[in-house]
Structure formats: structure tokens, C-alpha cells
Amino acid sequence: MAQDKLTQLKAMTTVVADTGDLEAIRRFQPQDATTNPSLILQAAQSPERRARLAEIARHCTDIDDALDTVAVEIGSEIAALVPGYVSTEVSARLSFDTQATLDRARQLIDRYERHGVGRERILIKVAATWEGIRAAQQLEREGIHTNLTLLFSFAQAQACADAGVTLISPFVGRILDWHQAREPDADFAGDQDPGVRSVRRIYEHYKGQGYKTVVMGASFRNVGEIEALAGCDKLTISPALLEQLAADAGPLPRRLAPLDDAETSAGEPLDEAEFRWALNEDAMATEKLAEGIRKFMADQRKLETLLAELRR
């Protein structure tokens, strides 16, 4: 009997659920799970959480305390369902503040440990700004694993690897969105997808230079993008696309594979001026990074407003 594509994918890539939906996680049995402010907002708004949300709002010292309490409670429930990592994001409001990111990340880890979830199970998600990467470098030195998100450019990927972060989440679909908006008639299917090409370049560079940082493709618009990256270290996938993969019994060939002759020297790391210039030269990455931070903050503000109303 032919295996479905999800089963085939799990044989070559670590499948991660991009959701806060506990039922979806139970169904698809991923190794890891990722969350972000948008997914936490969706999970927090479920009717069965309403009473608990009100209790959190009334008893927490301030909105930041309430936000982190919600995120860690949901993350702890997810941690009970997956054997690997759970990613929890530091507020996007702190994307340009290294020290504040460090403080908030440490607080999140403390909260998880009080819930009985060890730091070895948590990936602290930080936006891949220069300040976020510097915070991640210090957190890794402290034994706190990090997931650098909102990653759209090779310069961001290079700086993250130089910093020794545990994992990066290069976005595929949002890169495609940018290019489609400018070239609506272009053929971006399969290997022509600019988001796929971006992740492939990063993956091949990491493997060629012997970097240990894990590449986890994220933000998929269709199963074709996932299939084009089969074999990547990890892929974080929404329940809707997991459903499509599970329903398809067609063949799924490996598209990415580690190199046998990785080099041992990665060259000089990017300094701040080089990083900022390279990012500035990449219009797509500059625009999508800024937009991504704004969108995450928009959903965080919605949750803040909901919690503030419940405090009254």
C-alpha cells in the first residue's frame, strides 16, 4: 500500500506543526510545534479558554505578565503532546531592543520551568533583526535555544549561523507573495518559487560550510513549496497543508540532502554595518521583515485589548 506524502515527508524531514490547535497536533503527531502571536491569539480566543483567560487577566500584574502567562500555558499544553521543541515568541515590540529581548526570553524560560517544562524543550523565537540576533547569541551561551524568525534574506541567515543560533525559520510563502505582487503573470511553480530558491540557497550554504544551525522552512502557501523542499532539516506546516499531504498517496522524492564534503571554515562573520547594508540592498527582505513585525504586533495588540477588557 502506497504511503501518503506526509508519512513520506516524515521519513526525510522533521515535521513541525505551525499551530496552537491542540486537536490538530494530536491528529498529525508532529515532532515539534511552533507558535507566534497570531496563532496564540487564535488559540486564546477559543470558547473553552474564555474563563481561564479572564482569570489570567484579573490576577496578573500587568498586560505583559498576562500575555506571557497565556503563551506559556498554551505552550506547556503543546509540550505535553509533542516529543520535541515548542517555539514561543518574544514580543515583536522588542525586535530592536537586545537587552529587553534577553530579559523577556529569560522570563519565559523561568515560566516554562515553573510549569515543569525544561529549557531544553523550548525554542525562544526572536525576529532576525541585528538586535534580535545579538540577543539570541547571548541566550545560546546561557543554554537557551533560539528560533530566529521573520527571516527573508541570505544576510539574515548568515548572521544567524555566525551567532550559533539553534534554528532559523526562513519564510517561503511571504517571499512568494512579494514577488507575485510585482510579477502577477510570472510562473513561480515548483523550483521557480523565489521562497523555495531562498531556502535552498541557505540550506546548501549551511551544509557546505558545516554550520550546525537547523534550517526550518516556514510560511507555506501550497504543498508544492513543501514538496520542493522535501529533505530540509525541518519544515513547519499549517494543519490545512498537513491535511493535504496526508490525503495524497503520490510519490514524494527527496529534494534536499546534506553534503558529504562540507568545508570546515565559514569565513569572517558579518559585522553590523555589513549586515545592515546587505539587508538594505534587499528590498523584499527589508519590506517583509518590517511588515512581519507590524503584523505580529497587530495580533498581539488584539490579545492585549481582549485581556484588558477582561480585567475590568
Q: Which range marks the domain in which residue 200 is found?
A: 5-311
User: Looking up cell 481582549, which residue turns up?
Assistant: 306
Q: Which member of 125, 207, 234, 288 is catalytic?
A: 125
Share of the chain above pLDDT 70, in %: 97
Asked if 170 contacts 234 with a C-beta cutoff of 8 angstroms, the reply is no
- pLDDT of residue 310 exceeding 80, the answer is yes
Q: What is the mean pLDDT of residues 148-154?
A: 98
Q: Tell me: the pLDDT tens digits for 194-227?
A: 999 999 999 999 999 999 999 999 999 999 999 9
Rounded to 10 deg, the angle between the 272-281 and 154-163 helix axes is 160
Helix (H, G, I), strand (E, B) or coil at 161: helix
pLDDT at site 257: 93
Cα–Cα distance, 168 to 16 (Å, whole number): 13
**pLDDT of 265:** 58
Is 10 among the residues known to form the active site? no
User: What is the predicted pLDDT for the residue at 311?
Assistant: 77
Q: What is the mean pLDDT of the chain?
A: 94
Task: Tell the residue number behind the cell numbers 499549517, with chain if given.
Answer: 238
Number of domains in the chain: 1
Q: Is the pLDDT of residue 138 over 70?
A: yes
Please say whether the beta carbons of 292 and 236 come within 8 A. no
Which positions ≥6 away from 129 have C-beta within 8 Å? Answer: 95, 96, 289
Place of cell 559585522: 271
pLDDT tens for residues 57-113?
A: 899 999 999 999 999 999 999 999 999 999 999 999 999 999 999 999 999 999 999
Residue 48 belongs to a domain with what CATH number?
A: 3.20.20.70
- Between 44 and 171, name the one with better pLDDT: 171
Per-residue pLDDT at 39 exceeds 90: no
CA–CA separation, 178 vs 296, rounded Å? 18
Q: Can you give the length of the chain in residues? A: 312
Helices (H), the chain: 5-10, 22-28, 37-44, 50-59, 63-79, 98-114, 130-141, 154-163, 173-182, 194-209, 223-228, 239-246, 272-281, 283-311
β-strand pairing of 214-217 with 146-151: unpaired
> Looking only at Cα atoms, what is the longest distance across the chain?
62
The reported pTM is: 0.94
Collapsing DSSP to helix, strand or coil, 78 comes out as: helix
DSSP annotation of 218 reads: B
